[in-house]
């Protein structure tokens, strides 16, 4: 038995007080070149091969890549873009997918000797990239109260420690159970079942920080929180609008779908503050002739360089132009039959649209009316329209409203519920959508809880739990005392880095299920555990039988994923086995669920999922089909799962952008050499930025007006309701970005995102709209 839980009144042990929550502020030899005019091509091939061979070796790399995204292989752990239903290339992956697999399948190993030689304070002074590059975690580790070094612990002792701390809580609601988007359907379902049997709905996940705004917006208007298109709809679309998204870096395989659409005559409108290479031109790495003797495929017909968070104004402007043309030629622009029979709220929407003035629309959007008219003409000429978006829309205070303006636009044209048309929120993590389908949600629907209760003969908690931001606040206030993370790098992924770090330090116990070392392992509660797990690329054997897991992609396809590589260590457990052993240790005889039996055969888990989650009938049979199966999600034939049975037009006022003289609006972005918080390298190839990440992109006119200079080292200060947050030592880089706008990489600038600034109704942190000032750095 271990000692009693540390008192919440205890301060951080003295030997851990120097642990840094942020990456070190050391600047490298920045190199700047002209941004790329095309994504893909030979550089993508060379970069992929370099990462694969360096991390996995030639044989291991070849074995992994030949199975990646194949029908009998494993699902990519990177983004959630779907695989083709039919024939697939042997190289059905992208550069970032290769980096993600190489990162987790590295031959490097972290042994107990490493942690004996490095305190958490020493490790926190290393960069995030350095931490990740040390190799795979190989056995469970514990950081005991008062110690500054992790040491090995047995699995049994680790589960016993967690059980003691959880069962000592005054209420189950004093525990937080976080989930990353890579968790499989089977592990996610068991995890939420355990958490609800424990007695809480505190199940925040990474959706809270990315596409929560999309789910809220779509559920309210069309009755589903997911997208409404399939991959083959891109082949039928006549117009595609891409808003707030950088597919070349964040979803590279989407470029193949855009290229295919373009070659069939589709016209593409791109809306973004930055001219990203993947929005301009694509050189398909699998089309060797085109790469060697051509410039690839031009993708965008019309690029609209919108101001940060000017998308709502732009969309309203486009719809005003559509309305004007509809009145000139009734029935030729809008779809009157669809609007009359399939929608509600049209008259109120049109009345509000008419009252919106052009001066405000062009000022807020930063787009001239002539360009807005050009966009409208493209959409008028298309009967089948797809709108895609990502976090450039979801991480604003008015995010839900903006996404509902996208819905309004497609409802006017009748472009939802028919082939080649619809809504496409592009998810950023490979099974984040599946986790939600499995019940990883802090505000569960009553009908889901009812089915769970019938299946497992217990009464789930009905009180809503904490989302991610609420969970951080609860830990900070002492309301929550134990934090358990199923994957991810919670500290670096969340807003307000120093506030979040303080919240974690106030916990009695923090637990991370992980594959690689990250900063979240260093900033901990009084006690901490690291539980190492199998990756999706590794063979998973339970009770002598090889298992497979399943995932759901952005377009509601559920498919099998079978690892092919030998596990990195004999001490690793699958996520599913970790959850089952955790549940048994914590719940004991309070639970009659056969946890050991479920983790021994994942088919048994899927049988329960079939009974609880709609759309999973004959789950075990259908998921063994070559390409898996589609969940019944899209509103086919214009049938919407809303209380009225109709889709809803919504009315929203324009957001107010009140920035004072000398202030800028900063948006956080990824480099091309990272996926979420994982840093693969220091090369943002497409933007022409190399060897440094602590940069701030500014318009050249703004640099001059602010009295700054290219290459100057500055501090960034965010301002929110009288609060100031500082990120030190960033290099000024002139870039093609609208005036009064700025961009910088996360997680380095997450420290600037206020914990209190979230999207209305979704609670998503406003990482794409941070009011800042810039001042010269002084040592």
Res 2: pLDDT: 36
Contact status, residue 700 vs residue 734, Cβ threshold 8 Å: yes
| pLDDT in the model for residue 294 | 57
Residue ranges of the chain whose pLDDT lies below 70 = 1-14, 286-294, 637
Helical spans, DSSP H, in 227-368: 233-236, 247-250, 254-263, 288-293, 311-328, 336-342, 346-354, 358-365
Structure tokens at 537: 């690329």
Six-digit token pair at 413? 């044209």
Contacts within 8 Å (CB) and 24+ apart, 569-573: 569/109, 569/136, 569/138, 569/139, 569/532, 571/138, 571/139, 571/140, 571/155, 571/532, 572/138, 572/532, 572/533, 572/534, 572/538, 573/155, 573/531, 573/532, 573/533, 573/534
For residue 719, the Cα-to-chain-centroid distance in whole angstroms is 25
In words, the CATH class of domain 221-425 is alpha beta
Per-residue DSSP letter, 17:
T
DSSP string, 90-133: TT---HHHHHHHHHHS-S-EE-HHHHHH--HHHHHTS-HHHHHT
C-alpha 60/C-alpha 449 separation (Å) is 44
Question: Does the fold of domain 664-776 match that of domain 221-425?
Answer: no
pLDDT score recorded for residue 288: 54
664-776 placed in CATH 2.80.10.50 = no
- Contact indicator for 615, 448 with CB cutoff of 8 Å: no
Identify the pLDDT of residue 221. Answer: 97
CA–CA dist 122, 215 (Å, integer)? 41
What's the pLDDT score for residue 1? 29
Q: Please count the other Cβ atoms lying within 10 Å of the Cβ belonging to residue 691.
A: 14
Domain boundaries, the chain: 14-24+123-210+431-630, 40-104, 221-425, 664-776
DSSP string, 249-290: HH-TTHHHHHHHHHHTT-EEEEE-SS--GGGTEEE-TT-HHH
Q: Are 527 and 157 in contact (CB under 8 A)?
A: no
User: Half-sphere exposure (CA, 13 Å, Cβ side) for 590?
Assistant: 14
Write out the CATH class of domain 14-24+123-210+431-630.
alpha beta
- Rounded Cα distance, 411 and 649, in Å: 8
Q: What is the pLDDT of residue 8?
A: 44
pLDDT for the residue numbered 407: 98
* DSSP state for residue 567 in the 8-state scheme: P
| Of 553, 562, 561, residue with least CA distance to 631 | 553
pLDDT at residue 39, as a whole number: 87
């Amino acid at each position: 038995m271990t000692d009693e839980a540390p008192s919440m009144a205890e301060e951080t042990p003295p030997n851990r007080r120097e642990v840094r929550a942020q990456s070190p502020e050391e600047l490298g030899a920045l190199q700047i070149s002209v941004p790329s005019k095309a994504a893909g091509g030979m550089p993508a091939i060379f970069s992929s091969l370099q990462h694969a061979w360096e991390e996995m070796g030639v044989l291991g790399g070849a074995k992994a890549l030949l199975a990646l995204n194949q029908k009998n292989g494993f699902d990519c752990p990177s983004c959630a873009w779907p695989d083709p239903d039919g024939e697939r290339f042997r190289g059905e992956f992208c550069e970032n997918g290769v980096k993600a697999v190489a990162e987790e399948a590295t031959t490097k190993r972290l042994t107990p000797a490493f942690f004996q030689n490095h305190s958490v304070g020493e490790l926190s002074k290393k960069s995030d990239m350095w931490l990740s590059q040390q190799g795979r975690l190989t056995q469970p580790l514990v950081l005991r109260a008062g110690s500054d070094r992790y040491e090995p612990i047995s699995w049994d002792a680790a589960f016993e420690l967690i059980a003691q701390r959880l069962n000592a809580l005054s209420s189950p609601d004093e525990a937080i159970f976080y989930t990353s988007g890579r968790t499989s359907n089977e592990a996610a379902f068991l995890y939420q079942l355990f958490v609800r049997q424990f007695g809480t709905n505190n199940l925040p996940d990474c959706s809270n920080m990315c596409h929560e705004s999309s789910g809220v917006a779509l559920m309210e208007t069309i009755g589903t929180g997911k997208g409404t298109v399939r991959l083959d709809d891109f082949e039928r679309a006549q117009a595609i609008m891409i808003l707030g998204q950088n597919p070349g870096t964040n979803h590279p395989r989407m470029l193949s779908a855009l290229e295919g659409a373009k070659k069939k005559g589709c016209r593409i409108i791109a809306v973004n503050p930055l001219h990203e290479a993947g929005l301009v031109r694509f050189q398909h790495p699998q089309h060797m002739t085109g790469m060697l003797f051509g410039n690839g495929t031009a993708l965008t017909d019309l690029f609209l360089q919108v101001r940060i968070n000017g998308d709502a104004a732009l969309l309203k402007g486009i719809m005003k132009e559509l309305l004007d043309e509809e009145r000139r030629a009734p029935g030729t622009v809008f779809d009157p039959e669809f609007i009359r029979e399939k929608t509600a709220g049209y008259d109120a929407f049109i009345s509000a649209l008419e009252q919106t003035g052009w001066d405000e629309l062009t000022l807020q959007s930063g787009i001239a009316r002539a360009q807005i008219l050009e966009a409208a003409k493209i959409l008028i000429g298309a009967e089948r329209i797809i709108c895609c978006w990502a976090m450039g829309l979801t991480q604003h205070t008015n995010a839900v409203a903006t996404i509902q303006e996208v819905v309004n636009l497609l409802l006017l044209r009748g472009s939802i519920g028919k082939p080649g048309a619809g809504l496409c929120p592009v998810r950023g993590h490979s099974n984040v959508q599946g986790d939600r389908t499995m019940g990883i949600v802090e505000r569960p629907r009553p009908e889901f809880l009812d089915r769970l209760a019938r299946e497992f003969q217990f009464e789930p908690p009905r009180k809503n739990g904490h989302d991610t931001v609420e969970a951080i606040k609860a830990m900070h206030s002492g309301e929550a005392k134990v934090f358990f993370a199923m994957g991810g790098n919670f500290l670096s992924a969340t807003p307000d880095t120093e506030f979040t770090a303080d919240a974690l330090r106030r916990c009695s116990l923090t637990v991370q299920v992980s594959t690689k070392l990250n900063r979240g392992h260093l900033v901990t509660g009084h006690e901490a555990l690291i539980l190492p797990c199998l990756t999706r690329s590794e063979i998973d054997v339970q009770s002598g039988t090889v298992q497979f897991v399943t995932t759901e992609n952005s377009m509601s396809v559920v498919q099998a994923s079978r690892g092919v590589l030998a596990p990195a260590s004999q001490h690793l457990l699958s996520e599913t086995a970790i959850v089952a052993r955790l549940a048994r240790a914590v719940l004991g005889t309070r639970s009659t669920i056969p946890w050991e039996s479920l983790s021994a055969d994942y088919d048994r888990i899927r049988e329960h999922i079939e009974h609880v989650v709609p759309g999973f009938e004959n789950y075990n049979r259908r998921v063994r089909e070559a390409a898996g199966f589609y969940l019944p999600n899209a509103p086919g034939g214009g049938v919407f799962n809303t209380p009225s049975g109709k889709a809803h037009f919504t009315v929203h006022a324009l957001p107010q952008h009140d920035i004072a003289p000398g202030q800028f609006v900063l948006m956080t972005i990824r480099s091309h050499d990272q996926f979420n918080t994982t840093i693969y390298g220091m090369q943002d190839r497409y933007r022409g930025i190399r060897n440094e990440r602590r940069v701030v992109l500014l318009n050249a006119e703004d640099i001059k007006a602010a009295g700054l200079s290219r290459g100057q080292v500055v501090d960034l200060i965010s301002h929110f309701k009288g609060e100031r947050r500082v990120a030190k030592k960033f290099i000024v880089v002139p870039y093609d970005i609208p005036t009064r706008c700025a961009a910088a990489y996360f997680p380095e600038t997450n420290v600037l995102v206020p914990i209190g600034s979230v999207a209305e109704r979704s609670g998503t942190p406003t990482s794409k709209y941070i009011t800042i000032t810039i001042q010269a750095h002084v040592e």
